[in-house]
Every structure is written in structure tokens, then in C-alpha cells.
Amino acid sequence: MFKRLLIANRGEIAIRIIRSCRELGVEAVAVYSDVDANALHVQLADHAYRIGPADAAQSYLNMDAIIMAAKAAKADAIHPGYGFLSESAEFAEKVTNAGLIFVGPSAEIIRQVGNKDAARAAMQAAGLPMTVGSDPITSADNACEMAEKIGYPVILKPVSGGGGKSMYVANNKAELLNALNKVDVERISFYLETYISEARHIEVQIMADNYGNVLHVGERECSLQRRNQKILEESPSSALTPEMRERVGAMAIRAAKSIFYTSVGTVEFLLDVKTGNFYFMEINPRIQVEHTVTEMVTHIDLVRRQIRIAAGEPLNKKQSDIEFSGHAIECRINAEDPDMCFRPSPGYIESYHQPGGPRVRVDSGVCAGETVQEYYDPMIAKVIAYGRTRGDAIMIMRRALAEFRISGIKTNISFHQQILNNPHFCSGNIDTQFIHKRMTPVIKDECEIDKEDKKLYISHE
């Protein structure tokens, strides 16, 4: 096991990793920008190093500064968390070349799964089902021609990148041309694929050691999204039968084995509600924000397991050893104002009281007296409720959110409460368009936000 591990991240995920390090007897090294000098993750770490000014490009995205800090701290390994550099093949390569261990898959694997075109080709060769897709787009005319061959509706996606960014649905040629006007196809490579209008976003958590052992740790329902960004997740999915669960788990293992994947990761699928068919979307080569719900229903510490895999330990488990019980829901608490088109709400936290009690977990990156910075992701905490059943978990989450008190900044807690009281959500009648279809009286999803506000945050996912 490592003696000292540097965490190339901030906020709640940095604190989450620090906690696993403590339990493993590993010293945790934090890094921070100038505005994060007094941040909670810095206070909780065993050691801390400044890596640059507030601008993420000069601090949390500064590969050389982070590796220099790891060298100065005499760290054995670097954990990237999620977001920032977690999916950078270049960073993984630099870490390895510096003689350090990257807590995650190899640079080659990150590069392969990060390119959606290459990932789709690899998964197709492995026999995974997928929607009809196109080659990378070369022009607007080329896009329209490929869309006609695929058949509308189509979805426009970037070849590289994740987190639901720069994705547009087009039901006809006019809408496709409008979408193409919003992106730079000359600078960023895009492709088209069939759009499934009634779909659920199902992702499967995997663990893979360095000795060819791969296990799946169940699925997560991630259909509650706003502008393709997840806001609420749960495990297990209420849409899956035991046969479907076994089928999608087997597909996730096959996907991981086909590319010799190592570390923890997630294989993501779309479930066509009408047909019950799964379609491969992508592989995320990192720990996910929503890993917490899987931990609650399996009692497996995924971050600790990720560190152990990086240290060369085998899984020492069989698929039959993975046990599932109960239901867990996670709400992402963001510093944003739902009444003002979810405008970011950075600022000073005057008071902060997070919920507690039986079967409630809170992973937070802030405390009273701290400032939510305008430079980074708006997520400040995650509330996780665990119940014997889905209905039980919903009631516990309602209670937890009612206890949450934050003053000085706006948050999206009230929006989560509206979701949890929506009868369609409570009945499990959800899909990826739930927010748009079922919450339109509450949210004007297409409202305009000032350009300056759009630049306020760098999203983690």
C-alpha cells in the first residue's frame, strides 16, 4: 500500500478521498489554488501544497504544478478524483513518466474510451448493442446527408469529452442546422447517432484489477437530468427486471474485458423504454459523482477499492460475493438559483447545517464561514438517503432536505424537493426528458443566461 497519496482535486471529492486514505493508513496530500487556501479539503489533509492562482487552468488543470507538488510531498501516487484531469490521458502519462502511480486506468485506456468514435468501434467489435451512428462530421452538408441516412430524430455529440456537454437533439434538417450553428465543427469533432425519445440512462459500476478480474457492482439510474447534466441518481433502477439487470451487468463486464480495463469505472447505457433494449453509450474511466448510491446498497467503499487496485492488490472477490440490499437516492446540492434560470450563486456561506439521522449520508465540501468560489463547479454537497425500498428512500430524502439549512447563497434544494414530490417521479415513471416534460411549470429550461454567468463555473462532470 502507498505511504502518501496526492489528491489532484478539491471540494467534496477531495474530502471523500482523504477519508478513504485515513482508513487505509495512507497520508493524504491536498493541493489548492490561492482562493482555496483555507478550504475544507486543505484543512483535513495531512499535507497541502499551493499549485497556482484561482484560474483552474493555472492550478487544478496545471499538470506540471501538480506533479511538482507530488514530488515535493514525496507522494507515491496521484488520485485525480472526477472532473478536472481525471479523464486526461496526457496527465496519466505524465504521472507515470514521473515515476508515480496514477490512481485510475492507463493513459492508453483513457485515450481509447475518451474518443467516442474509437470506443464505439471497440464495443461493436465486442458485440455490444448500440444505436446507429455516423462518422465524424466534416461539414453542415455532410451532417445533413448522414442524418438522412440515419433517420430523424438524431443527436449531435462531440467525439471527445463527457458530462453531457455540447449535445443537441434534432428532429429535422432545420433543427440540425440550428444545432450546428451553436458548435464549432472545424475545431471540435462531432458525430451523429439515433436519438431514442423515450430512454432511461442506466450505468453499471465496474471494478477491475490488474490481473484480469472484472466485477460489476450493480446499476444506477441517472435519468434525472437538466441539459444533459445529472442532478439526481438512484440505485437500483426501478425499470430493470432481474433478467435485465443480469443482462446489462454481463454486457458491462464484457465491455471492460474487451479493452483490458483496470481500476473502477462506469459503463453507460441507454435503455429504450418501448423495447427494453440496451444500447452502449460510453465508458467513464474514473470514480463518478454518484458512486455513493452504489456504496450504500453494496456496502463497498469504491474509493478505497480504487486505491487498492492502483497499489496492485487483487479484487479477491467473485461476482456471487457482491450483495445488494435496499435502495439509495442521491441529490446533488448546487450553489445556483432555480428561480433565476439556475443562475450560479457564488458567495459567502453565513450559516450551514447539514442533515443527519438514520440512513442519511452527506458528502460535503464546504462549511459555515467559507466562500463558494465562482471559478469552479457549483456542486457543494451530495445528500444520500438509504431505505429498505424506493418509497422509503424517497421519504427519508424528503426529511433530509427539509433539515438542510444554508444561508448566504442560493441552492437548488427547493428544486429537488419539487422532484421528490412529483407523482410521476414517485411512481418511477421517469426518463431522460423528465425534467423537460414533467417540470416545465417549475423550470424554464431554455431561458437565457448572461454570457458572463455562463463562464462562472468549470463543471466537474
361 annotated active-site: no
Q: Which of 111, 120, 245, 286 is catalytic?
A: 286
CA distances from 38 to 50, 170, 316 (A): 11, 46, 40
Q: What distance in Å separates the CA atoms of residue 38 and residue 370, rounded to the nearest whole number? A: 8
Amino acid at 453: D
Q: Which residues are catalytic?
A: 286
